[in-house]
Chains A and B, each alone.
With several copies, the nearest count.
Chain A
Amino acid sequence: MNGLSMIAAMLPDGTVDPANDPGLSDGDLLAVHGKMTLLRALDEKGIALQRSGRIGFYVPSTGQEACAVGAGFRLREGDWLFPSYRDHGLALTRGYPLSTLVAQLFGNRSDATRGRQMPNHWCDRNIHLVSVSSPVATQLPHAVGTAYASKLRGEPVAAITTFGDGGTSTGDFHAAMNFAGVFRTPTVFLCENNQYAISVHVTRQTASKSLAVKAQAYGIPGIRVDGNDVLAVCKVVGDALALARSGGGPTLIEAVTYRMGPHSTSDDPTVYRSEEEVEQWRKGDPIRRYAAFLKKRGLLDDEAEDTAQAEAKEAVRQAVSDAEISPPVPVESLFEDVYEEMPRHLAEQRDGLLSGKG
């Protein structure tokens, strides 16, 4: 827990390091693979939808599926989720319905949040997935406050928040980590260090020896984990969640991974990084690594893998075609939800717009 050495679980020989084994059943091991596969299929579709102009924007998490799924797999009912815009996988794994997720991309009437935000700004009351916003790391203090509330009421639940390497530079990261340390809130800070904040490499983001060591500045444990090793992520996040739920306070986890695709559909990563670098990391693709591991364990074969991929694609395709046909959100909804009750000035503005008077 010095925040420097890297925790791994899947060993090259197909076994799991007993010290870091999350102890999943064979069924769960396959379910993890299913979620990762679904996530990848979703990203491919998301990008394609944007390219063809059917949605406006998309943020893929390709290459980071082990973080999202490994962490999401340890979340329980009652826990709170404060992910970044890149972490639909966390929510999906926890139970965010694919249909709701896909509907958000279209921002039409089927979107539970009424087209209020760009794609990838998720929200779901049932699983305590708190509305994602665009400013980097603003959700971190929320995860501290929410956890404080749960703790005050004596509920054995945790709040998890995810963010990137760039997020560690923000004032909100500093505030949230420090408050979590002082108030010992049941908060798990999962930093997905994907090496880049858009074009800025993590070595330019901070001079610290690792991101996990930053935990020392707040008197909380800092753990570094191979973020492309889904079992290792599952283990350390599971432990941190358990610690939090049982009153042991917060943990910072740095999951070392790589953003294999662009920052978003607006980004062209070839401007700032080499194909060789990407290729190097592609070899460690978390899904391929995990599939190889499952195959060595005899839990998966090529055929089952193909089936999983086909099923994932079909599920996404179905969700898209369901969502896409929904009509646009009604114009008057523009003025709703600013306050619980619409005040006079907004009613006047609404009437102006609807009457064509502006």
Chain B
Amino acid sequence: MPQATLLQAIHDTLHEEMARDPRVLVMGEDVGREGGVFRVTEGLIDRFGPDRVIDTPLNEGGIVGMAIGMALNGLRPVVEIEFADFIYPAFDQIVSELAKLRYRSAGLFTAPVVVRAPSGGGIKGGAYHSQSPEAYFIHTAGLTVAMPSTPADAKGLLASAVRGPDPVLLFEPKALYRTVKGEVPEGEHLVPFGKGRIVRPGEDLTLVAWGAMVPVASMAADLAAAEGVRIEVIDPRTLWPLDIALIEESVNRTGRAVVLHEAPRTCGFGAEVSALIQERCFLRLKAPVGRVTGYDTPFPYALEKSYLPDPEKTACAVRAAMEF
């Protein structure tokens, strides 16, 4: 299998899906000639032209709103939000319209829009180029929210999103865009929504992490291994609907769990995962479900490194769970 970066995998998948299906198009700020500020859509305009690789005016609500209209009339728009931090002007269109159209119309109308947004920290982007807003959308009924941590999953999730019947938000861990390389299956490769992945098996503790926290989790598992603790790392890939069965089975085996994410702790998705685990694995739990997360502050600039979870902080939480 060929190797590719996460960014390359997304780029290639967009290319393949557009070549496969003339209804697929991409739209957003600077996605055309510029190829997006991260170059994810580079070259697509040369191949597919400006009617299907659409540079839009600067208005995220307009972009998502227009995409909804396209999708309900037969197109398969893939929207790029330049940074996940700028998704909020589209919040009303996503929450009030995109998430609810199928339900309120009893299925008469649907809007299978894909929204892609680079998210997370690690690039010294400060308060407005580093956020991880996934929890807002997980709390919004009607959406599918996914985040890949490998090039193969990036391809598989994006392809599933483009072909699927429902709106999908795909948060792309920008810190991994060019730092992670891996094999990407050629041809059709679909990762179904709602199926997690065991990144590394282990017997002593279940560590749930997604996006750029998956490599952090693996490093923490290495640290723990040095202390004799065997960690099972799970990447849910789809955050919602969640593969709770996979997590449940794991925690029932290990008896201990830690959730790891970049977003601020309070009401982050870690809270939901923690709540679900204790609801389902109560009698097997030997320690409280731990959380390693971003702090409840805006995302800082100078102190980014202190803000972000890292292998050491994670190892600490693991130790706390083991020694409880």
Determine, out of A10-18, A162-170, A225-233, A287-295, the stretch whose residues face the partner at the interface: A162-170
Residues of A within 8 A of B86 (CB): 135
| Contact A141:B108 (CB < 8 A) given known A166-B58, A329-B302, A334-B307 | no
| B74 lies within 8 A of A334 (CB) | no
- Is A80 in contact with B73, judged by CB distance below 8 angstroms? yes
Q: Does B114 contact A (CB under 8 A)?
A: no
Q: Which of B145-153, B205-213, B224-232, B289-297 makes up part of the contact surface?
A: B289-297
Provide the residues of chain A in CB contact with B182, threshold 8 Å: none
A138 and B59 form a contact (CB under 8 A): no
Of B11-19, B63-71, B155-163, B169-177, the one with at least 4 CB within 8 A of chain A: B63-71
By the criterion CB–CB under 8 Å, are A112 and B32 in contact?
Answer: no
CB <8 Å contact, B303 and A334: yes
Contact between chains at B85 and A134 (CB < 8 Å): yes
**Is there an interface contact between B92 and A358, defined as CB atoms closer than 8 Å?**
no
Chain A residue contacts of B314, Cβ below 8 A: 358
How many A residues, CB 8 Å from partner?
A: 82
A115 at the interface (CB under 8 A from B): yes
Closest residue of chain B to A115, judged by CB? Answer: B302
For B141, what are the chain A residues with a Cβ–Cβ distance below 8 Å? 338
Q: With A115-B300, A149-B74 in contact, do A142 and B68 touch (Cβ < 8 Å)?
A: yes
- A111 to B104 alpha-carbon distance, docked (Å): 12
List of A residues within 8 angstroms of B117 by Cβ: none
Q: Please report the total number of B residues contacting A with Cβ < 8 Å.
A: 85
What per-residue 1/0 map shows which CB atoms of B103-137 lie under 8 Å from chain A? 11111111000000000000011111100000000
B62 touches A358 (CB 8 A): no
B33 touches A271 (CB 8 A): yes
What are 20 residue pairs bridging A and B, where the CB atoms are less than 8 Å apart in the complex?
A: A116-B302, A121-B104, A123-B108, A133-B96, A133-B127, A134-B85, A141-B62, A141-B93, A149-B70, A169-B62, A175-B66, A198-B34, A204-B55, A204-B57, A329-B303, A334-B300, A338-B297, A339-B144, A340-B102, A353-B306
Residues of A within 8 A of B (CB): 56-57, 80, 107-108, 111-118, 121, 123-125, 130-131, 133-136, 138, 140-150, 152-153, 159, 166-167, 169-172, 174-176, 178-179, 182-183, 197-200, 204-206, 266-267, 271-272, 328-329, 331, 333-340, 343-346, 349, 353, 356-358
Given contacts A145-B75, A179-B57, 17 further A-B contacts (CB under 8 A): A107-B301, A116-B126, A131-B104, A136-B58, A138-B93, A144-B65, A146-B72, A170-B58, A171-B89, A172-B65, A175-B66, A197-B58, A199-B32, A199-B34, A335-B295, A337-B103, A339-B165
Those 10 A-B pairs whose CB atoms lie nearest each other, nearest first? A145-B69, A141-B65, A115-B302, A175-B62, A358-B313, A134-B128, A199-B34, A142-B69, A131-B105, A145-B66
